[in-house]
Structure 1
Amino acid sequence: MKTTNAAVLAAGIFSQYAAGHSIFQQAGSGSTDFDTKCTRLPPNNNPVTSVSSGDIVCNVGGASASASGICEVNAGDQFDVEMHAQLNDRSCSNEAIGGNHYGPIMVYMSKVDDASSANGSGDWFKVDEFGYDASTKTWGTDYLNANCGKRAFKIPSKIPAGDYLVRAEAIALHTAGQTGGAQFYMSCYQVRINGGSDGQLPAGVKFPGAYSASDPGILIDIYSADLSTYQIPGPAVIDSSYF
């Protein structure tokens, strides 16, 4: 795997990692590996625990941070977000997120004027999610661990061209039986979409605001709850007509 200069410089920031914690770091599209080029990397792999904090947008400092570049893709392309516990350790033999950190994964997008400077205060619409598959007892985080930390989704083909922030998130629910126990791991990616359409953007939500600490998919004891009805936090994925 290639390593960018930005990733090397950032490695020192991530030298002290908490066991079992993780963060979305890399991105790719098709045969293109963007590495961390367009990722607003947080200062460490610790979770955000308050749904009302500004950190829930793009992680600690992420709303005002800027990545080294912007990842350019075409509308309708596949886009991969990638989670690992340690910066630059993309080994598939290591869990993407360990320590029984079970929970859903979600991807949001927000149209912005300039991805390199946007603070994420606009509307966010959900483009992908994986909660819990009761038939296989598989969480979204299990999916990441089985796929070398990667989650692929399709960039909607019928949204306007331009700059966007992509927000990838995993919520660990192993201690979510009490208020404030859920752990939120997210990163924002700076993306420019070419092509697209002149149609309207999907309706969106705000961060903070999209989640409540008492939401049934956030305040939950996953060891005793009836998970066949697990409710993924946030809005539904946008209508299929956008894809």
Structure 2
Amino acid sequence: MRLSYVFTGLAAAAASVSAHSTVWGVWINGVDQGDGQNQYIRSPPSNYPVKDLNSNAVACNVNNRAVPKTLKVKPGDTVTFEWFHDYRDDEIIAASHKGPVVVYIAPTSSNGAGNVWVKLYQEGYNGNWAVDKIIATHGQHSIKIPNIASGQYLLRPELISAFELANVAYSSNSARGVQLYMSCIQIEVQGSGSTLPSGVAFPGTYKYSDPGLVFNLYESSPSSYVIPGPAIWSGSAGGSISRAGTPGQAPPSGGSGGSGTVDKYQQCGGIGWSGATACVSGSTCTKVNGTFIQSTKAIMNQQRDRFADYYYQCQ
């Protein structure tokens, strides 16, 4: 195989990955909770989309399983989700991936299965696509925690990419189809409100016949777009697309081991990091997750050094 073909393949793979997105972090009332990948976010193994609407991955993406941490919140708190390609403070998602943003909630005890998902927020096209607005706010959008009963819940933010491949259903052509990006965040609500009502099921709610899931972006009026799924729950406290801050500006509350030390598996350095860098006894601040990005970006001559030290974690 000619070397140029290898480089072309790697560059194409990098470009494809760069088009996609996943949730990397959460803010609570403007306070950065740190990198949440596989910590309080049930992170998928990659930023690739879910396209099969009948797959169990529609609930919490691939690799849905409990993770070590749960974020504590109260009714009225603002929870901000943060989307990026490959690491915190990276690009967000390709501008061609236009579409809406939605947020659901379900009891953690359900593990996302059954008629449990209640819609808290949605935004589609209102002069601009929601995804375009999220790109402008550096990958951030927010919801307010509604007045619900104490307990553990999963928050499910989702970007629905209705770009050029979405004019044909995945069931008709697996190379095409709408692209769904979602992650589930573990939270514990400390409140005394009402129990969540019955919700909808993933998979099951989204259909290949839904006009918001098979949409011709270039031949249809954006204002005609219909966001798929149920109506927003009447008990929702709302949400918005706005920016909470820059990753690393403030270490998460309770995230350090005391006296400027960082707990095991928490961030201790990298681009934009201004928090503590000393790890608790028995762990070392170690670079993680950089190999693929560094090599493919270097092939495309895109600031190789910038990607060498983007994220460190106590291990």
> What band does the TM-score fall into relative to the shorter chain?
0.7 to 0.9
Between the two proteins, the alignment pairs up a number of residues equal to 213
Q: Select the residue among 193, 205, 211 that pairs with 2:189.
A: 193
Q: Which has the higher helix share?
A: 2
Bigger RCO (CA 8 Å, 6+ sep): 1
Contact 2:121–2:236, Cα closer than 8 Å, also in 1: no
| 1:45-194 equivalent positions in 2, closer than 5 A | 45-62=47-64, 65-88=65-88, 90-91=89-90, 94=91, 96-113=92-109, 119-122=111-114, 123-133=116-126, 136=127, 138-157=128-147, 159-174=148-163, 175-180=165-170, 181-194=177-190
Amino acid at match of 2:203: P
Alpha-carbon separation, structure 1, partners of 2:218 and 2:192: 43
Tell me the SS of whatever aligns to 2:183. Answer: strand
TM-score when scaled to structure 1? 0.82
Contact 2:162–2:178, Cα closer than 8 Å, also in 1: yes
Contact 1:80–1:152, Cα closer than 8 Å, also in 2: yes
Alpha-carbon separation, structure 2, partners of 1:98 and 1:220: 18
Q: Select the residue among 206, 220, 223 that pairs with 2:215.
A: 220
Deviations 1:76-114 (A, max 9, x none): 2111111001123x15xx3x111511111100000233x
Tell me the SS of whatever aligns to 1:195. Answer: strand
Amino acid at match of 2:161: A
Offset at residue 119 of structure 1 (A)? 2.2
The corresponding residue for 1:203 is 198
Alpha-carbon separation, structure 2, partners of 1:167 and 1:218: 18
Alpha-carbon separation, structure 2, partners of 1:99 and 1:139: 10
Alpha-carbon separation, structure 2, partners of 1:176 and 1:17: 16
Contact 2:22–2:183, Cα closer than 8 Å, also in 1: yes
Contact 2:77–2:144, Cα closer than 8 Å, also in 1: yes
Alpha-carbon separation, structure 2, partners of 1:32 and 1:242: 22
Offset at residue 185 of structure 1 (A)? 0.5
| Structure 2 residue 38 is matched with structure 1 residue 34 | no
Contact 1:144–1:151, Cα closer than 8 Å, also in 2: yes
Tell me the SS of whatever aligns to 1:132. Answer: coil
- What's the C-alpha RMSD, in Å, of the aligned pairs? 1.8
Structure 1: runs of 5 or more not aligned: 1-14
Identity %: 34
> Where does structure 1 differ by over 4 angstroms across 4 or more consecutive aligned residues?
none
Deviations 1:2-61 (A, max 9, x none): xxxxxxxxxxxxx99713111122111113222304111110011110111011111111
Deviations 1:150-195 (A, max 9, x none): 11111112x1110000111001111100012100000000010001
Tell me the SS of whatever aligns to 1:193. Answer: strand
Deviations 1:195-221 (A, max 9, x none): 131x24233101101110120000110
| Structure 2 residue 70 is matched with structure 1 residue 43 | no
Alpha-carbon separation, structure 2, partners of 1:204 and 1:106: 14
Structure 2: runs of 5 or more not aligned: 1-13, 171-176, 238-315
Alpha-carbon separation, structure 2, partners of 1:216 and 1:152: 26
Whichever of the two has the greater Rg, that structure is 2
